[in-house]
Amino acid sequence: MLRAALGWARDLMLSVVIAFIVIIFIYQPVKVEGTSMMPTLVDQERIFVNKFIYRLGIDEIKRGDTIVFWFPFDQSKSYIKRVIGIPGDTVAIDRGTVILNGKPLKEDYVPPEYRDNFSMPEQRVRANEYFVLGDRRNSSNDSRTWGLVPRECIYGKAVFVYWPLTRIGPLK
């Protein structure tokens, strides 16, 4: 009986260590706060962020990725937004329509009721920086307001919704 209890304790301890390593180094649970990414993400939703994918170069940051980053002007705050422009791109906004590299960007993830009439002159995305926008444009604080996100501020990619259970699944 003692041997069985010790085996059980060993297995439990190993499971806790593995879970700790996964949560600390690979996937981090995050609570969404705010409505700027609706309808993709909603306020108080729980998601997993893959912190490993960009750090080790397993994947590059791409247009359309939903990233989590430290706010460039106050790194005690974490933001989540969609990547629109990558280094070398030009981005402009004409009455709410994003113009990427001279062509209107098709954005099926932004419903008409979440669009705005904001305009912004064309700008080039510099090396190691990214242009990001929230999906709910009429209530998002993003690159239109405070500029580009430096690569060193980006710490992960949002990959999976785990709460509420009605929305569980991979992030699209």
C-alpha pair distances (Å), 100 with each of 61, 81, 122: 16, 17, 9
Alpha carbon distances (Å) from 42 to 83, 119, 128, 133: 18, 26, 29, 15
Catalytic pick from 51, 81, 143, 157? 81
Concerning whether 36 is annotated as a catalytic residue, the answer is: yes
Q: For residue 61, how many other CB atoms are within 10 A of its CB?
A: 16
**77 carries an active-site annotation:** no
- List active site positions: 36, 81
